[in-house]
Amino acid sequence: MADSVDIAVLGAGPAGMAAAVVAANAGLTVSVLDDQAVPGGQIWRNVEAVAARGDIGLFGDDYAAGVDAVAEFRATDVDYRPLSRVIGVESADEGGDVLYLRDGKAGRLHAKRLIIALGAYERPMPFLGWTLPGVMTAGAAQIALKTGGLLPERPFVLAGQGPLLLLLAAQFRAAGAAPDILLRLDDPGKKWSAGKHGLRALAGFSDLLKGLKWQRSLSDGVEETVAHVTHLEASGGGRLEAVRWQTADGTDGEAEATTLLVHDGVIPNAQLTRAMRIPHKYDVAAAAWCPEASADGQLADTGWAYVAGDNAGILGWAAATATGAKAGASAASALGAKAAPTNDVEGRLDRARAVRPLLDALYPPAQAFTAISDDTIICRCEAIEAGSVREALAMGAQGPNQLKAFLRTGMGPCQGRMCAYTVAALAAEANGTALADTDLMRLRMPISPVTVSEMSHLNETDMDLPTA
Amino acid sequence: MFMDTADVIVIGGGMVGGAIAYGLTRAGANTLMLDEGDDALRTARGNFGLVWVQTKGRGLQRYQDWSRESSEIWTEFSDDLQESTGVNTGYEKPGGLTLCTSDEEVRASEEIIAAMKAQAGNGQYDSWMIDRQEIEALVPDVRFGPDVLAASFCPHDGHANPLKLLRAMHAGFQKAGGRYQPNASVVDIVRDGEDYAVVTAEGARYGAAKIVIACGHGIPELAAKVGLHCPTRPQRGQILVTERLQPMLPLPMGSIRQTDEGSIMLGVSHEEVGFDDRNTGDVSGAIAARAARILPDFANVNIVRSWGALRIMPPDGCPIYDESETWPGIFMTTNHSGVTLASVHAKHIPNWVLRGETPVGFQDFSVKRFKGTPHAAPPG
Amino acid sequence: MLRRRVEPEGDATVRLTIAGQPVTALRGESVATAALAAGLQFTRNAPVSGEPRAPYCLMGVCFECLMTIDGQPNRQACLVPVQDGMNVEPQMLRPSLGVRDDG
Ligand SMILES: Cc1cc2nc3c(=O)[nH]c(=O)nc-3n(C[C@H](O)[C@H](O)[C@H](O)COP(=O)(O)OP(=O)(O)OC[C@H]3O[C@@H](n4cnc5c(N)ncnc54)[C@H](O)[C@@H]3O)c2cc1C
Ligand code: FES
């Protein structure tokens, strides 16, 4: 039978830890499940060990803030379960059952309230050659730096757009590996049109200042910066050898490269909420599908599940601590406990929200999906090219679900994490509909692969399984 | 006022509607296929892909013969599809096994074979029991768990890739001039002089002299509008699919088969849960536990996807084909073996619809067989 | 594509075998980053196209880091922390569990 707690928190990033701390301080039993070995989530990955080895200075103040947050989380009596991967959630007994993998077994944990804070991941950015070894996301290289102390090998090209790209460039430079070439997929002309957001964004001025600081320090040590790149291509025999690009004004460029890091902003990690069949809405400004939830994070169509942090919509780590605390307090008081959300929750949220429109305007997703060439692989798992998707759409496939049936897009182990957005965009393009009117492909439990042996631990029914 | 008119409108673009529409166009009929949107409850996308004879037709001999004929002409059907569309359905007929992992299961299999033989009477039913050594000889590349005692074997069983089959039928239909209209959920059928009009939820109207209602779980409601009773119910089946492996299972073993793409499908439950098509941890666990018992080396294989799909289950598990008496020219076709029967659907249903020609004994499939009888539980 | 800034020292060192080579790694990092630091050019062949692939996201999203770890095929190497004595191989083929292995 399932073990049982008052509140289960999924994800031990800024949002999940904040939720757990509030709920535990309210006197409730809390379990936190996370697939990493240590708490911190994406931004504060491995922060305890990095602090211990004296490298905290490489990553800036936002990262350093994780030291206290993790310590505060560790000081509670929360039942923290690292290396635990959530594969599904089922509604059960006026709450939910979390299905998860740990130590080679699938387990079931019942919770009266559930707080889902699985964070975000980088928006997949398909271009010709992006499957070559040597091409990885900038966030991946940051993880390698935080955990293994690894640096990109030269010649090193960094390509993409967004505030995080600028931060990463600064971090690599601080660690002694500035990119040789920086290809900016954003349009510097946009800066001015974004100016109208300036006043509202003032409230979030501290974040903005940081942004400007990164921008300035960005060019230090970089040999060449190319602005408004509209076409990117990687090539090589079996691994990356060269990067080619074109800019909006038609200028071509090419360079040898050993490492190409790409980044196109982040999108909510909504695999679980989608598999739970929570309705999701396309947020046009953020160009992302977000689960529908109330102001304190309660998910539409459930009375017992909440979403917090970047999982709910991209607002960054400071806002994640606020939405996490709010969801924790709301879930705790729903169970009759007295919960005090931590200080200045609304203020932190307001500042993050205020700066968002400016960032969205400055950094729309770089990839104009219509520009994906027919020979670009869009589904990495099944090696399916954009051309086949367009062909199937022309034959009458109506959307992502039927495309999946026809072509297997989204049927590999990543379950559409890498292709779902692109497939939806190609479908919208072919059907002449807005992305907001296009759904992503359906998802189901398990949201990550599970071995036969692991899965067999969920067997409780011993049901009769007649054949055919 | 009509969006489009045709000789025949096929309502439903799944396994059954797809096969019939493909057959109709190839028979020269001007055919329009209406289908729902991207998110429809499609059994065609959720099924197991068996072309299965050994357990089909207990209690209705016509169904046993129908399944057998289907298997006999499946190769030709599949070859035709490939020739006209270039899509290979992956059909193979290596025979099929139903594994028995306990003495009860052995007895149950023996009993089915005896009953099917007695019912057929003509020596046409051939399945027989094989022992563990014979199983190992047929499937030499994997190690079976100690519980595997015996199996029933039928040489007419096989399997296909259901997604490729569906795609091929759609492509073949359109190549032959058929017109496919998605996002057209039919909500009503009305008379239009001598002919009929169908009305969609979107408010569009389509006209035809003949209509085939083949829209799966949507049939009971539409059939009732034209005086036909369709006593089907949903029955959930959950399926797990593994990552791709080297070829190792040369023949389908009932609820365990390897696809042409290398992944292993593990099935399958029979649950009475209404229209709930979610999949669940406990049933996934039970399916995995059984697979690990049968094939212990599969313990470390990754399950990459899983789903629940709703069978369209008639009370006796056998197909229903009928024409409305009060609305002549309107047909309903329903069953839960759309892959197995795709070949006979493409071949025979068009003759029935276009010219009233039916194979011998076809009237046995009429819904009238349920008149007055309490609805029996279907065999597996 | 990635190199180590500093070699692991003392207690922080984990010793394992990757693609037959003895390798030292930093405690707390994943098998995937250890493989990259060891100079492995790719971690698997794509099962459909056969092309070489290497870790892309390092956070459990892309499934390009599938490797055989201690005999278990297709493990997500970026989610598995390094441990002393581990034996790691790239995932070269679709797994075969057969009594007979026809590659
Ligand atoms: C690669 C990457 C690098 C980033 N770097 C920075 C940066 O340097 N600075 C910055 O300001 N922002 C950065 N961001 C954005 C920042 O990470 C987020 O704003 C912030 O972490 C949000 O906090 P969260 O608690 O919502 O999610 P997260 O911090 O992402 O926490 C979610 C946790 O859930 C875990 N998880 C996910 N799926 C499962 C599952 N199925 N089962 C169990 N556990 C699971 C994750 O491993 C993670 O520990 C980065 C984002 C990414 C994707
Ligand atoms: S590198 Fe992407 S899942 Fe491991």
Q: Which of A42, A61, A274, A349 to mutate to test the pocket of ligand 1 (most atoms within 8 A of CB)?
A: A42
- The predicted pLDDT at position C95 comes to 80
Reduced to 3 states (helix: H, G, I; strand: E, B; else coil), residue A7 is strand
Task: Measure B44 CA to ligand 1 centroid, in angstroms.
Answer: 38
DSSP SS3 for C18: strand
Whether the predicted pLDDT of A329 surpasses 70: yes
* Averaged pLDDT for residues A452-464: 83
User: Which residues 6+ apart lie within 8 Å of B291 measured at CB?
Assistant: A452, A456, B240, B256, B266, B298
Which other chains touch chain B, taking contact as 3+ CB pairs less than 8 Å apart? Answer: A, C
The residue range of the domain holding A129 is 124-264
CA of A171 relative to ligand 1 center, distance in Å: 17
The tens digit of pLDDT for each residue in B93-107 reads: 999 999 999 999 999
Q: Rounded to whole angstroms, how far apart are CA atoms B42 and B35? A: 10
**Any atom of ligand 1 within 6 Å of the Cβ of A33:** yes
Say whether A395 and B303 touch across the interface (CB within 8 A): no
* Higher per-residue pLDDT: C97 or B54: B54
Identify whether residues A130 and A259 lie together within a single domain.
yes
Please give the average per-residue pLDDT across B347-362, as a whole number.
97
Are A211 and A260 in a shared domain?
yes
What is A336-399 written as a DSSP string? T----PPTTHHHHHHHHHHHHHHHHHH---S--GGG--TTSEEETTTTEEHHHHHHHHHTT--S
Q: Which fold has domain B4-82+162-231+315-370?
A: FAD/NAD(P)-binding domain (3.50.50)
CATH number, position A253: 3.50.50.60
Share of chain B above pLDDT 70, in %: 96
The helix-helix angle for A317-334 and A345-362 (nearest 10°) equals: 140
| Residues composing chain B | 380
Ligand number nearest to the C-alpha of A448: 1
A437 interfacial to chain B (CB closer than 8 Å): no
Question: Looking at this protein, which amino acid is placed at residue C39?
Answer: G
If you average pLDDT over every residue of chain A, what do you get?
A: 89
Determine, yes or no, domain membership for A460. no
Window from A56-60, B130-134, B137-141, B238-242 with minimum mean pLDDT? A56-60
Mean pLDDT of chain C: 90
Say whether pLDDT at A92 is over 80.
yes
Has residue A95 been placed in a domain? Answer: yes
Which ligand 2 atom is the nearest neighbour of the CA of C66?
4
Residue B5 has pLDDT above 70, yes or no: yes
The residue that leads in pLDDT, A29 or A217, is: A29
Task: Give the start-to-end residue ranges of the domains of chain C.
Answer: 13-96
CATH assignment, B233-313: 3.30.9.10
B interface test, pick of A452, A459, A464 with most B CB neighbours within 10 Å: A452
- What is the residue extent of each domain of chain B? 4-82+162-231+315-370, 96-154, 233-313
Q: Looking at the structure, tell me whether residues A132 and A256 fall in a common domain.
A: yes
Same topology between domain B4-82+162-231+315-370 and domain B233-313: no
In angstroms, the CA B283 to CA A450 distance is 14
H or E segment and range at residue A427? helix A420-431
How much is the pLDDT for B380?
38
Say what the pLDDT of residue A462 is: 57
Q: What average pLDDT score do residues A199-219 get?
A: 52
Where residue A55 falls (left for φ over 0; alpha for ψ -120 to 50; beta otherwise) is alpha
> Does the structure show a pLDDT above 60 at A203?
no
Q: Give the pLDDT confidence of B243-274 residue by residue, as tens digits.
A: 999 999 999 998 999 999 999 999 989 999 99
Total Cβ atoms within 10 A of residue B126 = 16
Q: Which of A240, A264, A288 is the last residue of a domain?
A: A264
**A254 and A134 in one domain?**
yes
What is the number of domains present in chain A?
3
- What's the whole-number mean pLDDT along residues B214-227? 95
Ligand 2 atom at shortest distance from the alpha carbon of C76:
4
Are residues A169 and A66 located together in one domain of the fold? no
Atom of ligand 2 nearest to the CA of A140: 1
pLDDT band at A367 (very low <50, low <70, confident <90, very high): low
| Percentage of chain A modeled with pLDDT above 90 | 67
Q: What does each C-alpha distance from A213 to A219, B41, C69 come to in angstroms?
A: 11, 53, 43
What is the number of residues in chain C?
103
Average pLDDT, integer, range B151-163: 96
Q: Which of A202, A230, A264 is the last residue of a domain?
A: A264
Reported as a pLDDT band with limits 50, 70 and 90, residue B372 is: low
Which is nearest to B319 in space by CA: B292, B347, B339, B297?
Answer: B339
Q: To the nearest whole angstrom, how far is the Cα of B157 from the nearest Cα of chain C? A: 24
Which among A88, A395, A396 has the least Cβ separation from residue B281? A88
Of the three residues A264, A284, A301, the one that is the final residue of a domain is A264
Query: Which among B38, B50, B20 has a CA at the least distance from the CA of B172?
Result: B20
Q: Are residues A305 and A330 in the same domain?
A: yes
Query: Are the C-beta atoms of B169 and B19 separated by less than 8 Å?
Result: yes
In whole angstroms, what is the distance from residue A171 CA to residue A156 CA? 14
Looking at the fold, whether A174 and A260 belong to one and the same domain comes out as yes
pLDDT-wise least confident of A55-64, A449-458, C25-34:
A55-64
User: Are B295 and B145 in contact, with CB atoms under 8 Å apart?
Assistant: yes
Q: Are residues A110 and A208 in the same domain?
A: no
Task: Choose between B346 and A404: higher pLDDT.
Answer: B346
Short-list B138, B144, B142, CA closest to C102: B142
pLDDT digits over C42-59, tens only? 898 888 888 999 999 999
Residue to mutate, C33, C40, C56, ligand 2, most ligand atoms under 8 Å from C-beta? C56
Q: Is B102 on the interface with A (CB under 8 A)?
A: no
Ligand 2 near C78 CB (within 6 A):
yes
Segment B40-93, tens digit of pLDDT = 656 666 789 999 999 999 999 999 999 999 999 999 999 999 999 999 999 999
| pLDDT recorded at residue B374 | 45
Confidence of residue A352 (pLDDT cuts 50, 70, 90): confident
**A202 & A149 share domain:** yes
Same domain, yes or no: A83 and A137: no
Mean pLDDT calculated for residue range A15-23 = 97
Whether residue A210 has pLDDT greater than 70: no
CATH, domain range C13-96: 3.10.20.440
Distance separating alpha carbons of residues A117 and A120, to the nearest angstrom: 9
**Sign of the dihedral defined by the CA atoms of residues A20, A48, C56, C83, in that order:** negative
